[in-house]
Amino acid sequence: MTDWEAPDTGVDPFVTSGDDRRLDATTEIERGTEGLWTPSSLLTHDDVPSHVGFWKRFRRNKVATVAAIYLILLILAAIFAKQIIPQNPNYQNLLQINMRPSTAHWFGQDDLGRDVFARIIYGARISLEASFLAVALALVVAIPLGLFAGYAAGAADMVLMRISDAIQVIPALVLALVITGILGPSTTNVAFALAVVFAPGFVRLIRGQVVSVREESYVEASRSIGAKPLFIIRKRILHNVASPLIVQAAVTFGFALLAEASLSFLGLGAQEPTASWGTMLTRAFGQVYQAGWLLWIPGGAIAITVLAFNLVGDGLRDALGTETRGA
Amino acid sequence: MTDVTPPGDPAPLLSVTDLSVGFKGHTETVTVVDHVSFSLRAGETLGIVGESGSGKTVSSLALLGLLPASARVTGSAKFDGRELVGMPPRKLRDVRGNDISVIFQEPMTSLDPAFTVGNQLSEAYRNHRGGSRRKALDRAAEMLRLVGIPEPQRRLGEYPHSFSGGMRQRVMIAMALICSPKLLIADEPTTALDVTIQSQILELLKSLQAELGMAMIFVTHDLGVVASVCDAVSVMYAGQVIEESPIDEFFSHPLHPYSAGLLDSMPQSVAKGERLRMIAGTVPPPSRFPVGCRFHPRCKYVVEACTTTPPELDSVEGDRKVRCIRHAELTLEVAK
Amino acid sequence: MTAEDQPLLRVRGLEKVFPVKKGIMRRTVAQVRAVDGVSFDVGKGEILGLVGESGSGKSTTGRLILRLIEPTAGSVELEGQDVRALRGEELRKTRRDMQMVFQDPYSSLDPLATVADVVGEPFQVHFKMTRKERDNKVVELLEQVGMGSHHLRRFPAAFSGGQRQRIAVARALALEPKLIIADEPVSALDMSTQSQVVNLLLDLQERLGVAFLFIAHDLSIVHHASRRIAVMYLGAIVEVGDAEEVYARPRHPYSEALISAIPVPDPQAERDRTRIVLKGDPPSPLNPPSGCRYHTRCAYAMEICNTVDPEPTPTVNGGTVSCHLHTSGPMLNGRPISQSLRNTSG
């Protein structure tokens, strides 16, 4: 869709109901040749460049905005954990174990009397760091490969795509498990394993986008001017591929967080006593009969954060989707 | 068409009065079609001419309730004694495809690639008329023959992709006419086609009209097409009808400066080697329609009053109408 | 032809065969002869109109000349230099002399680049310039196409179709080309803006002496803008000649039908004239007819047309026509169809 924002720009429901197939052709009015009126033609003459409209459009999505604010606060808390909670998250108070939440300890204390709130904040640091590293590594590898495969086409494309098929055949978590198993348990290794898991998806996405953008006549126009392939990729293709990539990255981030927690839960990521959401979950699992509520806190943190990443991803998609298509 | 119904004929088939369409944006409602009125008698062809953003397509879609739900349609459109504006969707669906049919610009996207042409044609028939599949298929074959598709029986079993662009448009016409509608709305039906195919389709529509006696609304931007198929023309600019006229008078002496400008900008109206005449500027978007006469920023004959007073659609010369405060004093010649 | 009146562009026997591939192994199952032996010249500062319907190969021809698509055979010479022999840097340099304006100004401008980026792109590609220098050049170019400098930082979405096409023309002018290939430059535009863009092209030709290859399906506009017209059908040029001559007295039956098909804005003339309505659809280029490629739709087809592909024969003013009517038919003296055949054979 376009600048024209009404969520109901689909054709009216009784037209698409299928009993009157020919009238589906009203969707044609959205296609926007000059001869036809299009909803987008209402506002395309606005002088506002599309990226200014981006925040406006994003903010309109209330749920995504709340999720984004939550994530920003979480990231800030993780970065400034030491300033927020000067006490050591590993400080044990064995006189107060499995304590319910109180004003002194907002999220209570675990089976070693450690402050759960402090561990959640410090744990966020580990979890977010690992996810960030995983997504960043995957992108660093995937962007050049995807651009190359999409633009060069031919044999190189074929080989790259078959390799990524081969990787994607293996279930993501199983693959990550095997790689971390081989490399040995550590946060960095988990990040590396996840990068391997994510990269093929990114390569595929970028390649697909490049293949479609490559056919646009502005790319042909650049070629006709005498621009070299690298120039075209840098100046014309990359930013037009960026939107779906950003969305995909946000969603993958959420998945990375979940996967990191899963691997830590299985003992392949961060190791006790380092606080991470996955290890906290393992620890709480041992106390399930004594203090079942301890499970809820890291579990909830994981669930809410993953959900937030997905919501932000959706919001970004809606807000960015309009740009690549232009008017 | 030459056989124009005598002007005395009392009951028009379709009579549209003060039709307005607005779209609700996030901040304001944008009026895209503003108090459009026209009427059409049985067997007559009306051309609605305009550029993009003129509201010509929206007006015709509004008649059939084919606009997105965010559209606000007001005014009246009486078809054969029934009011179309505000008619419940279910009743409107009975009218659409049955009494009023539409053909659109792009025939490929209007046909479902997953079903055979015969299937789609016969379904269109049975939706409104019921009856057996056998009978509907016979009717479909008859329609394909009527629109000049050779070997209709065989082609019924084929899928849309095996038809060429011109043939697909013929299939669309067959589908639109299968229930013998009283009114056919053709929205740029030939714009996507090559000129030689365009002339085939125009000839076909003319002969079908003569044979079946239906009325047509031809939505187009091509004045040549208007001259070859229409009896009367209604010119739209920035959401308003600015001139309405029988075609002979329209082409020999247009009344509105915009109409004259359009006719003048055709390559046929200047000698070869000369610069084409043109209308300066561009069509304003609906959110920025000028005050006063909406054409005044582009008009050669603009005077002070044009910038302040919105002109009315005045009746002149009996059956003509024009929206221009200076129409009485201007003599607009069109070069031949 | 002497060195002085050597044409700017000389195209000889240009061919493009697209393989049709199928299956996993991408085996070639058929060949489409999109452009099948096209030859023509464009003089310095001349506008040549190349007319044809969809599938005639006119747009492919334009792209072959620029080598946006590699030709299968034939030669393209720009001022005597064989464009097909150029490699790497040389090709990039020659591309400065030939620029293209595309049909759809909605897709030929990168939606995420500003006007300054779009029009300044050729400078970025070919010269080392500061942003300031580039912007100054861009402002000059915008003025040439009748647009103000305040548009510099705007995005394409802010412009109407006609304005976008002006921006695209400004980009094509940036490197001071000798030839601009305009591929349907006005067919995506509104009618009141079409004439603005046509006039702009005419002005540029006059002022800057740029030659144009004006590719279009609309014969009335091409006729108006061009000095000469070439008519293409199914990958080949069937008639070339002086624009006025071809338009008023077409010699090839296809040109005649094409001209007759254009609806004119005059209801009386529309009622009076007998339009030639061509039978059927153009044949598929996958499987072109034997002999004359037009014979399946031609009202005057003779026996020879089924088997022998007609050679171009000269008409007046250096024009040619590829039709047997002019070599072995009733029009031996090369008269236009409208004058001879229709009267005699009814």
DSSP string, C278-300: --SPPPPTTSPPSSSTTTTT-TT
In chain A, residues with a C-beta closer than 8 Å to the C-beta of B26 are: 5, 60
What is the tens place of the pLDDT at every residue in B177-195? 888 899 999 988 887 778 8
Say if residues A145 and A160 touch (Cβ distance below 8 Å): yes
Rounded Cα gap, residues B297 and A102, in angstroms: 71
Domain ranges across chain B: 254-322
Q: What is the pLDDT of residue C6?
A: 84
> Is B45 within 8 Å of B71 (Cβ atoms)?
no
Give CA–CA dist A301/A290, Å, rounded.
Answer: 21
Chain A CB contacts of B70 under 8 Å are 6, 8-9
Chain B residues whose beta carbon lies within 8 Å of the beta carbon of residue C218: 195
Say if CB B221 and CB B188 are below 8 A apart. Answer: yes
Percent of residues, chain A, with pLDDT higher than 70: 82
Model pTM score: 0.80
Mark yes or no for CB contact C278/B261 under 8 Å.
no
pLDDT at B1: 42
Query: Distance between CA atoms of C182 and C170, rounded to whole angstroms?
Result: 13
* Cis ω for the linkage preceding A273 (within 30 of 0): yes
Residue of C nearest to B52 (CA): C190
The HSE-up count of residue B50 (CA atoms within 13 Å, CB side) is 30
The DSSP string of B104-122 is -S-HHHHS-TTS-HHHHHH
For range C270-286, the mean pLDDT:
79
Contact at CB, C103 and A217, closer than 8 angstroms = yes
Within an 8 Å CB–CB cutoff, is residue C195 touching chain B? Answer: yes
Chain B residue nearest residue C257, CA to CA: B196
Instruction: Supply the mean pLDDT for chain C.
Output: 87
Reduce the DSSP state of residue C237 to 3 states and report it: strand
More confident: A44 or C263 = C263
Contact call for A226 and C106, based on CB within 8 A: no
Closest C-chain CA to B271: C224
pLDDT per residue over B42-79, tens digit each?
989 999 998 887 888 889 888 888 888 888 899 999 99
Cα angle vertex B191, ends B190, B193, to 5°?
65
Question: Which residue from B51, B56, B109 is facing A25, i.e. has the nearest CB?
Answer: B109
B vs C: CB pairs below 8 A = 122
List the structure tokens of B254: 């247009």
Average pLDDT along chain B: 86
- Position B89 pLDDT exceeds 90: no
Q: Which amino acid is at C90?
A: E
Q: Which of A64-73, A318-327, C148-157, C227-236 has the lowest mean pLDDT?
A: A318-327
**Which phi-psi region, left, alpha or beta, contains residue A20 (left: φ > 0; alpha: ψ -120 to 50)?**
beta
Residue A324 has pLDDT above 70, yes or no: no
- Residue B6 is classified by DSSP as P
Alpha-carbon distance A105 to A109, whole Å? 7
Check A39 against B68: CB less than 8 A apart.
Answer: yes
Any idea which residue has 């990039």 for tokens? C92
pLDDT for the residue C332: 62
Cβ(A99)–Cβ(A290) under 8 Å? no
pLDDT class of B109 with cuts at 50, 70, 90: low
Which chains pack against A, by 3+ Cβ pairs within 8 A? B, C
Q: What is the DSSP letter of A235?
A: I
State residue A302's pLDDT score: 93
If you measure CA to CA, which chain C residue comes closest to A326?
C111
Set out the domains of chain A in order of their start, with CATH numbers.
1-47 (no CATH), 64-325 (1.10.3720.10)
Strand partners, C267: none
Alpha helices in chain B (DSSP H): 56-63, 89-95, 107-110, 117-129, 133-146, 152-155, 165-177, 195-212, 223-229, 247-252, 257-264
Residue C77's pLDDT is: 93
How confident is the model over C29-77, as pLDDT tens digits? 788 889 999 999 999 999 999 999 888 899 999 999 999 999 999 999 9
* Bridge partner list, C179: C98, C211
Instruction: Output the six-digit token pair for C141.
Output: 């170019």
Q: At what angle do helices B165-177 and B195-212 cross, to 10 degrees?
A: 20
**Residue A100 exposed, middle or buried by CB count within 10 Å (0-12, 13-18, 19+):** exposed
More confident residue, B233 or C29: B233
Give how far A23 is from chain C: nearest CA, Å.
Answer: 25
Q: Do B102 and A13 touch (CB under 8 A)?
A: no
Mean pLDDT for A192-210 is: 92
Residue B183: name the closest of B40, B19, B58 by CA. B40
- Asked whether residue C209 carries a pLDDT value surpassing 90, the answer given is yes
Nearest residue to B275 (alpha-carbon basis) of C48, C231, C260, C204: C204
Residue B98: closest CA among B68, B127, B135, B132: B127
pLDDT of residue C342: 53
Q: Does C160 contact B at CB distance below 8 Å?
A: yes
Between residues A34 and A65, which one has the greater pLDDT?
A65
On the question of pLDDT at C269 being above 70, the answer is yes
